[in-house]
Amino acid sequence: MRLQNKIALITGGARGIGFAIANALSREGATIAVADINGEGANAAAEKLNAAGGKAFSFSVDVAEQPSVLKTLNAVVAQCGRLDILINNAGVGGNTPFLDTPLELWNRIVSINLTGAFLVAQACARQMVEQGHGGKIINIASLSGQRGGNGRAAYGSAKAGLELLTKVMAVELSEHGINVNNIAPGAIETDMAATAHDAATRAAYNYLIPMVRYGMPEEIADAAVFLCSDEARYVQGHTLNVDGGFRTAGLMFGARKAPMVSA
């Protein structure tokens, strides 16, 4: 129960990595505010947490719209009394080649994954500063923001910006006792991956991952629990890759590294 009596807001918490983090923080004693653009999904997620013995509330939010962000934060504070933890997880994927990326798609991905993360983090940080008791902010970045990859012009740029934003936040918010860190997932076994990743994509990922498997949402959640706990009180402005060694790896060969796609 490392997070007993803490209030945690999780954006994009209705499913996938967001829900896995909500579940893990709930097991550690936190009260969970599940916020998602899918209000029905947020309701269902909160009901699951409550049925498992936790304490959770649901909220609808569009992170790309500042009025929606402020309304949601005010509702969370009114319901729960304060805010101790933010998991800045809401985002959308993108896999369009650079030459084919229309401005509309670029703007949508950046507005949600970077501007939206900024709006939520700024509003929540202001609340934490006003409370005067510090806090924890975890931004969910991505390996795609660290390495060049096919189709990641908009998504990768937004996540790279989020990683730098985290460093600036960490520097400026340290005086207020607020820890700000990133988690950068690699290939994770989510519903989106199950539908979007074909056999060739999976083979390509597994070839580049030393552990030769996709991660599970619960493995991202375990990292989030650590960064939200007092055990990480001196971790500041750090990006924790949870990617099976993907970013670390160089040349790899051997029995486990067969050709990516057979002829």
- The CA distance from 103 to 154, in Å, is 10
Is 241 in a helix, a strand, or coil? strand
Angle of the 39-51 helix axis to the 16-27 helix axis, nearest 10: 30
Angle of the 153-173 helix axis to the 103-110 helix axis, nearest 10: 30
> Is 205 one of the annotated active-site residues of the chain?
no
- The CA distance from 73 to 4, in Å, is 21
∠150-194-65 over CA atoms, to 5°? 70
**β-pair partners for 8:** 32, 85
Please say whether the beta carbons of 160 and 146 come within 8 A. Answer: yes
Gyration radius of the chain over CA positions = 18
10 Å Cβ neighbour count for 79? 12
Ordered alpha helix ranges (H), 60-198: 66-80, 103-110, 116-131, 153-173, 191-196
- Closest-CA residue to 9 (of 39, 30, 40, 38): 30
Out of 155, 205, 214, 234, which one is annotated catalytic? 155
> What is the chain's length?
263
For the annotated catalytic residues, the residue numbers are 155
